[in-house]
Structure 1
């Protein structure tokens, strides 16, 4: 049994009991309205409650005018639907259709439009939607623990990808099933969805650290795909390739680091200088592979630049120690 089911059951009980205690007609409808009002985040709950309440009150007033002028006929109900429902869709308020229908059909059932009838429906709205909103505020499941798990999974997947890339550069005959390339996008998407939920559950706190992190990983994965396209052009073991493999081996650990120390970036700049001092390629095949390795290094530089923007800088007291060993990444922006 999920927590949302429990919240819904509590909200329905309180809403119906409150409506009956207030002596309202159609008290059971307060329970239905509370079911509609239970949501997955606090911010979304407030937004949907406000829009449904406003749209339903407007619909109630329009229906009351139509019924008062044209009478309570089936074609009058159809006319109301033809006027009001497209308007809700036009202003992106389609979620309010069910709420509006419940309230308006009460007026049809009464066969009269009076201040007492309209007041009864508005109070049902307040009790039903209000109860759901209060329950949402009292308890909304936290996703922080799951965010940490997804972050760890994404880091592990990237680390595994970089290790396989390093192995290919050392031995191009190495076989890799590439399952991490299928799992990483799903994990990143889940992280972005959870990050959005976490942000919408913090009304009075600023600074969303999770969304920038998973957005960085999404961009990183795009970069990794470009790297793999270049890697496929390296089909022989070269000294240059083994040097680049060392960078990816180090990066497989750095990807899990709490901080950005810049060790791989420093090693990459040094390696680029060494490449310039090496003899020119002798064969066309060697030229093409070394060209692919150079482009691979340029793409790696782009990857590191994105990480540098989001990861926290290495604290001065930490020195220049290697990142990524026994540490977890804690999102923090470096602007």
Structure 2
């Protein structure tokens, strides 16, 4: 209204004045970080332009329209539904898929089992996309929420999944099985049993360092194939360290609901 009053009352109610005013208005609201109010602001400007005369009655009318519009929006936001139950369900599903993926890696390292078709990877990608979309919607539906811990959680899991997709070829195409494979399998088995929304990554990074030390103490490879296998396994644990770094940067989610009974974890475990 200030822009409209100064521009139109000073230079006249002409289309060229309206256009120039909008060109100046856009960078102003962007710099003030209030660009979400652009549409409603333009509507008010057009009202004033169409009237051709800025009066007290017009000012009061526009203020009343703003109060009605924003007041209604605020009231709706206050009573907007909460998606926590659905988001918690997505967390359970995602963590279940991650446990399955790690379990398949353990099977391969211990038994050379190559029957896994990798469907959990595709399922995890689709699930994370749905979960992030719902978490973002939850933020948009609540005026007081600037960020959503669920959105940050699913974003973190998405970054971890990118690492898993990247390292799977290294671990599932070993030319031969070497002694170090059992070490990695033990670590991955323990990690698969501790996939949750809390933050225990520091503990597992410490365990990973122990694995690296044991690697260093083992005999050197006897042939080229064993060398390639050991190199792939070492690259794998380096990537898993990055996987844990991503998790360590996440503070964890404090949730009110328990996971299903087959998760064997209580609420306090989720709040670590």
User: Which structure's CA Rg is the greater one?
Assistant: 1
2:43 maps to which of 102, 107, 110: 102
Q: 1:125 is matched with which residue? A: 66
- The change in CA–CA distance for 1:265 and 1:63 in structure 2 (over 3 A counts) is closer
Count, aligned residues: 257
Q: 2:257 is matched with which residue? A: none
Q: 1:176 is matched with which residue? A: 116
- The change in CA–CA distance for 1:100 and 1:269 in structure 2 (over 3 A counts) is closer
CA distance in 2, matches of 1:144, 1:221: 23
- The change in CA–CA distance for 1:101 and 1:254 in structure 2 (over 3 A counts) is closer
- The change in CA–CA distance for 1:128 and 1:202 in structure 2 (over 3 A counts) is closer
CA distance in 1, matches of 2:245, 2:45: 58
**Conserved 8 A contact 2:167-2:236:** yes
Report the TM-score when normalising by structure 1. 0.61
CA distance in 2, matches of 1:277, 1:96: 63
Q: 1:159 is matched with which residue? A: 99
Q: 1:81 is matched with which residue? A: 18
Q: 1:303 is matched with which residue? A: 243
CA distance in 2, matches of 1:304, 1:271: 14
- The change in CA–CA distance for 1:257 and 1:110 in structure 2 (over 3 A counts) is closer
- The change in CA–CA distance for 1:308 and 1:328 in structure 2 (over 3 A counts) is farther
Runs (5+) with no aligned partner, structure 1 = 1-56, 313-323
CA distance in 2, matches of 1:251, 1:285: 28
Q: 1:319 is matched with which residue? A: none
Q: 1:254 is matched with which residue? A: 194
Runs (5+) with no aligned partner, structure 2 = 253-261
The CA RMSD over aligned residues, in Å, is: 3.8
The answer to whether the aligner puts 1:291 opposite 2:231 as a matched pair is yes
The answer to whether the aligner puts 1:90 opposite 2:38 as a matched pair is no
CA distance in 1, matches of 2:236, 2:178: 14
- The change in CA–CA distance for 1:79 and 1:260 in structure 2 (over 3 A counts) is same
The answer to whether the aligner puts 1:327 opposite 2:257 as a matched pair is no
SS in structure 2 at match of 1:254:
coil
The answer to whether the aligner puts 1:135 opposite 2:76 as a matched pair is yes
